[in-house]
Amino acid sequence: MTNSNKTQQREPLFHITKRTDIPLWKSLLIRVGAIVLGLLIIAIICSIMFGINPFAVFATIIEGNFGTERRFWILLQDTALLLVVGLALIPAFKMKFWNLGGNGQVLVGALATVAVMKFLGGELPDGIVWVIMLLASVIAGAIWAVIPAIFKAFFNTNESLFTLMMNYIAEALVLYFVYIWKTGASDTIEPMPMGNLPTIGNPFLLTIIVAAIITVFLAIYLKFSKHGYEISVVGESQNTAKYIGINVKKVVIRTLVLSGAMCGLVGLLLAGAIDHTMSATTAQNMGFTGIMVAWLAKFNPIIMVLSALGIQFLTKGMGRVQKKFGITSDAVSNIMIGLIYFFVIACEFFISYKIHINLKSKNKAKNSDGGNK
């Protein structure tokens, strides 16, 4: 008797098991709970760090997004851009190919666009220039993604570091060409007069429409096409894929061409329709933010609309908070978004695992019960 008592005392306070399946509403509840908790922490930290009323923070976040019609359109436009980058990354992620090179792929897309605008804008009819711009940016993005993919496919080269380095190579190239082609003061290219993409309705709508089309296309591509099926098989197990006759190398390369092409398209939109120029920060770090967008939505293109909107909403809102409360450092939004990420990442644990707390009294009553909560 004393012996069994001793073993009971040594039992840990809690243990965890894997959940086999979890109802959708429960997993959604956990995710929403995590976001709400994260927002609460943000409000508390804001009020401690800057002595601001937390409600004022929330009000400013909303004002930063919906305060004027222009702000609202910019929110939609930037959401659309981020969404396309996130979408571009998911076919690769589904294959467990860690494409961290979104930034570089967007940048070379922008670089190709600016090159075409500079040398052909005004020389040829606008329609033809647009087509060449589209082709150039898409091909440039695809090349930037396919180089790591080829080495991954044939030599199993570490793709996350390869794509990461490609970012910096793209950045250095852009800096070089900005320096050669500079027209403005202090090493910048002034907005291009010729060859800009047409505006539909207002300056923001073109981007939003393109993003909507790509979202629908990718959702269908991944869910209903043979390619999409092959991608998910390769992601689950390369050996299975080989066994059922899928050419893994071909799938990896083909998917990364698609991934890079979509990032290149974002570069086209940024340089050709929004900024009309380029700089080393044209990509706005969307390659990394896009990863979070894709991850938060569990690689589901439709849910990604929400996660992209959420992240842009927070970014814009925190930007407004900084301005309004005179916080000079522009770092606050990174801190806050990082915190939100932590909560959302952590909540995955509670979705895939279950915690059992071992209450001593229950254990005494019956050990085989396992102390279920």
State the residues that interact with other proteins by CB under 8 A. 17-18, 98, 100, 151, 155-158, 160-162, 164-166, 168-169, 172-173, 175-176, 179-180, 288, 291-292, 295, 328-339, 341-342, 345-346, 348-349, 352-353
Nearer to other proteins, 60 or 207 (CB): 60
CB of 168 to other proteins, least distance (A): 4
Nearer to other proteins, 42 or 210 (CB): 42
At CA 83, angle to CA 82 and CA 85, rounded to 5? 65
From CA 298, how far away is CA 94, in angstroms rounded?
10
At CA 222, angle to CA 221 and CA 226, rounded to 5? 75
Nearer to other proteins, 118 or 227 (CB): 118
Q: What is the end-to-end Cα distance of the chain in Å, rounded?
A: 26
CB of 203 to other proteins, least distance (A): 28
CB of 281 to other proteins, least distance (A): 9
Measured in whole angstroms, the distance separating CA 202 from the mean position of its chain's CA atoms is 26
Cβ–Cβ under 8 Å, residues 77 and 208: yes
CB of 152 to other proteins, least distance (A): 9
Q: Measuring CA to CA, which residue among 291, 267, 340, 296 is closest to residue 86? A: 291
From CA 82, how far away is CA 263, in angstroms rounded?
10
Secondary structure letter of residue 183 according to DSSP: -
CB of 302 to other proteins, least distance (A): 20
CB of 57 to other proteins, least distance (A): 16
From CA 119, how far away is CA 123, in angstroms rounded?
8
From CA 202, how far away is CA 92, in angstroms rounded?
33
Nearer to other proteins, 222 or 336 (CB): 336
Rg (CA), the chain: 25
Nearer to other proteins, 212 or 306 (CB): 306
Nearer to other proteins, 19 or 26 (CB): 19
